[in-house]
Amino acid sequence: MFHRFANPARFLRLAAAVQPWAAGATVVLLATGLVLGLVASPADYQQGETVRIMYVHVPSAWMAIFCYSALAGACAVALIWKHPLAGLAARATAPIGAAFTFLALVTGSLWGKPMWGTWWVWDARLTSVLVLFFLYLGYMALDNAFDDPGRGAKASSILALVGFVNVPIIKFSVDWWNTLHQPSSVVKMGGPAIHPSMLTPLLLMGLAFTTYYVWVLLIRIRREIIATKIRALQMRQAAGQGAAAPAAAPAPGEAR
C-alpha cells in the first residue's frame, strides 16, 4: 500500500486528479470562511473588531505546526524506507510551512499591538514559534547547501527530526508556563470555549488552509518530479556530447 505511491508516474496521475478538487475546495471554503468570519460573525465584547484577525492567525498557527509534523513524518519515511516521494514531499512542505509560520507571527503581532499594547513579548509561545520559523529556515538552507541534492535531502531530514522536539514545546507552552498568550480554547476538555458563530468560520478557515496546503503541495511535488526529469535529460545530453566529442564519427544516439 505504502510503496504503491512510490511510483512517480502513478503519483502524477493521482495528483492530477486530486489537484482541481483541492483547488476548488480551497476557493469555496476560503470564500465562505472569510464572509462568515469578517462579515457575519459578531465582534467580540472585549476585543471589538480586532478579534477577526483570529480567523487568519489561528489557522496559520495550526498549519505551522501541522506542516512541521508532516515534514518530520515525511523525513522519517524518507530516511527509514528510502521512499523517493516522501523526500520530495518533505522538500515541498518546508517553504509552505515557513510561510504559514511567518503569517502566524505577523498576524499575531498585528493583533498584539491593539490588545496587549505591544508588537511582541518574549513569552514561551511566541519564542517557540519563532524558533520553529528558524528551524524551517535551517532545514531549507541545509537542503540546498550540497552540490549533490541527495546528500542535502538526507542531512536536512535528520535536522527536521531533531527539530521535532520543538513541536510539543509549542503545543504545551501555554500550559507549562504562565504566558500572555491565551491557552487553547478550541481543543480542550469539556468542549470548545468559543460560541458556534465564531467557531464555524474558524474551523472553515482551518479547513481552507489545509486544502490550500494540499493544493500547493501537489503543485510543488509535481514541479520537483518534472525538475528531476529535466535534470536527468540534461545530464544524459551532456554525457552524450562529452562522449561524442573525442570520438570521430558516432551519431549522437549511439554515443553511449
Binding-site ranges for other proteins (CB under 8 A) = 79, 127, 131, 134-135, 137-138, 141-142, 145-147, 151-152, 154-156, 158-159, 161-163, 166
**Spatial CA neighbour of 181 closest among 120, 136, 131:** 120
Q: Hey, what's the cell of 235?
A: 545530464
Q: Which is nearer to other proteins, 173 or 210 (CB)?
A: 173
Q: Give the CA distances from residue 9 to residues 2, 83, 87, 224, 230, in Å, rounded to whole numbers and listed in that order.
A: 15, 14, 16, 13, 15
Q: Supply the minimum distance, in Å, between the C-beta of residue 147 and other proteins.
A: 7
Q: Supply the minimum distance, in Å, between the C-beta of residue 154 and other proteins.
A: 4
Q: Which is nearer to other proteins, 138 or 192 (CB)?
A: 138
Q: Supply the minimum distance, in Å, between the C-beta of residue 151 and other proteins.
A: 7
CA–CA dist 173, 208 (Å, integer): 26
- Are 170 and 65 contacting, i.e. CB atoms less than 8 angstroms apart? yes
Instruction: Please name every residue paired with 44 in a beta bridge, in sequence order, or none if there are none.
Output: 48
CA–CA dist 68, 65 (Å, integer): 5
Residues 6+ apart with CB under 8 A from 210: 63, 66
Q: 67 burial class (0-12, 13-18, 19+ CB within 10 angstroms)?
A: buried
Q: Supply the minimum distance, in Å, between the C-beta of residue 76 and other proteins.
A: 12
Q: Which is nearer to other proteins, 50 or 127 (CB)?
A: 127
Q: Supply the minimum distance, in Å, between the C-beta of residue 128 and other proteins.
A: 9
Q: Which is nearer to other proteins, 102 or 243 (CB)?
A: 102
Q: Which is nearer to other proteins, 131 or 199 (CB)?
A: 131
Q: Supply the minimum distance, in Å, between the C-beta of residue 97 and other proteins.
A: 15
CA–CA dist 203, 219 (Å, integer): 24
Report the Cα–Cα distance between both ends of the chain, in Å, rounded.
37
Q: Which is nearer to other proteins, 108 or 163 (CB)?
A: 163
